[in-house]
Amino acid sequence: MNKKTLNEVNVSGKKVLVRVDFNVPLKDGVITDDNRIQAALPTIKHLVKNKAKIILLSHLSRIKTEEDKSKKSLAPIAIALEKAVGQKVVFVAATRGAELESAINTLKDGEILLLENTRFEDVKNNEVVKAESKNDPDLGKYWASLGDIFVNDAFGTAHRAHASNVGISKNIKESCVGFLVQKELEMLAQGVDKPAHPFVAIIGGAKVSDKIGVIDNLLTKADKIIIGGGMAYTFFAAQGHKIGKSLLEADKIDLAKEYLQKANGKIILPIDSANATEFKDVAPSFSGVDLPDDVMGLDIGPKSIELFQKELLGAKTVAWNGPMGVFEMENFKKGTVAVCESIANLKDAFTLIGGGDSAAAAIQLGFKEKFTHISTGGGASLEYMEGKVLPGVEAIQNK
């Protein structure tokens, strides 16, 4: 990795701006999953230990109205962070101005300050201005002026060019990636760019259109690409099969044909389907790849599970992105569970989950410890798997 990392920067006595990802789920002001706060701790604790003055920036959800601001303050996150780091966190309910500047200027070495939700800058006087999410140059410059060094440790927003990542990076003397982003980039590079072979990619999810770039990029790198989920039915249609009422992207049939041709046998599709007459959690009926007119496919069937398990045997690298069916429904999660178990039980393999639904599935099913790496950033890891440049990383100084 050619980007400067936290260990290569002297932070002692410096004001260090850190972009973290505290976009955690809140219910009635209570955090229901603090994974993202935990993920930021190694970087924060390193800065405390090395006597930096720590200024944390994060967004929380989307802000579209003044009313959103009352529900999306980072105040509860400051309280949770205090518990997690075991020391006081100064919370400033502002994103700019005299109060914030004065609080930063009185920070002592090793102290932590969290400023208000960066996306509050997206709405001014009830007007949507998107200063944060459209990377307003003045805002990026202003935030950069508050510190000496910038650390980007928010992988979840690395695929976006915002004022709080790219804007600050471009206007500050020194920048680096934090430990979380460093680990993500190293793991994704090992799983996607420098895989040990045989390399099997598993791609699921609802739509071909969401994963075009991933299939494109991985066709040149993987030895096999297993395709499941709703997108499989567009491939079935491309092969001339009847897909009943299943999800179909008619405008992507030609593209699916093109991929099948280009893949030269690399693409492995399901050979049966678990179906229902409507989108409901009911006991499934099963069919081969030709579905009756009155049903929709909601998961891969038992024969496909066996086939996919066989195709995974002996894999040295596996990258998985997207579920095999509607895994939120008890009756249609078998495919996703089986694939998850098969990957988790591979011996001596590098196993990577590219965030999003597949990460949620693996964690829910209790396989978190069984994978080499589960990405914390769905969108960012997806774009990495597509071979795209991540603006939040690109803007950081090179070594």
- pLDDT per residue over 90-140, tens digit each? 999 999 999 999 999 999 999 999 999 999 999 998 899 999 999 999 999
188 is a domain residue: no
Q: What is the C-alpha to C-alpha distance for residues 123 and 131, in angstroms, rounded to an integer?
A: 8
Domain membership of residue 399 (yes or no) is no
Q: Which domain holds residue 145?
A: 6-180
Q: Which helix (H) or strand (E) holds 310?
A: helix 302-312
Residues 346, 381, single domain; the answer is: yes
Tell me if 105 is assigned to some domain.
yes
Q: Clarify whether residues 16 and 111 are in a common domain.
A: yes
Q: Is residue 260 part of a domain?
A: yes
Residues 243 and 331 in one domain: yes
| Residue among 96, 207, 257, 368 flagged as catalytic | 207
Residues 206 and 334 in one domain: yes
Domain identity same for 41 and 167: yes
Query: Does 19 appear as a known binding residue?
Result: no
Of 13, 110, 213, 379, which is the active-site residue? Answer: 379
Q: Evaluate whether 22 touches 120 at the Cβ level (below 8 Å).
A: no
Give the C-alpha separation, 210 to 191, whole Å: 20
Domain final position from 180, 203, 223: 180
pLDDT at 29: 81
Domain of residue 269, CATH code: 3.40.50.1260
pLDDT band at 52 (very low <50, low <70, confident <90, very high): very high
Residues 59 and 160 in one domain: yes
- Say yes or no: 289 and 348 in one domain: yes
- CA pair distance 230, 120, nearest whole angstrom: 36
In a domain, 396, yes or no: no
Q: Is 8 annotated as a binding residue?
A: no
Q: Is residue 397 part of a domain?
A: no
> Is 22 annotated to bind ligand?
yes
**249 and 312 share a domain?**
yes
User: In terms of domains, do 38 and 73 share one?
Assistant: yes
Residues 167 and 285 in one domain: no
- Selecting among 4, 19, 36, 72, the annotated active-site residue is 36
Q: pTM of the entire structure? A: 0.89
**Does the annotation mark 207 as catalytic?**
yes
Closest of 171, 169, 172, 159 to residue 133, by C-alpha = 159
Categorize the per-residue pLDDT at 26 as very low, low, confident or very high, splitting at 50, 70 and 90: confident
Confidence of residue 35 (pLDDT cuts 50, 70, 90): confident
Q: Which of 152, 155, 166, 150 is nearest to 11 (CA)?
A: 150
Domain match, 258 and 168 both: no
Q: Phi first, then psi: what are they for 5, rounded to 5°? A: -110, 165
pLDDT at 1 over 80: no
Span 226-243, mean pLDDT?
96
Examine the residue annotation and report whether 36 is marked as an active-site residue of this protein.
yes
297 is in an annotated binding site: yes
- Which of 132, 154, 180 marks a domain boundary? 180
pLDDT of residue 49: 98
Q: What is the pLDDT of residues 243-293, one digit of tens each?
A: 999 999 999 999 999 999 999 999 999 999 999 999 999 999 999 999 999
- DSSP E strands in 6-110: the ranges are 15-19, 26-27, 30-31, 53-57, 89-92
In-domain check, residue 82: yes
Asked if residue 190 belongs to a domain, the reply is no
19: annotated active-site residue: no
The total number of structural domains that make up the chain: 2
**122, 148, 180 — which closes off a domain?**
180
Does the annotation list 66 as a binding residue? Answer: no
Mark whether 159 and 286 lie in a shared domain: no
13 is in an annotated binding site: no
358 is in an annotated binding site: yes
d(C-alpha 42, C-alpha 17), whole Å: 15
Catalytic residue among 191, 205, 356, 378: 356
For 363, the token pair is 């964690």
356 among known catalytic residues: yes
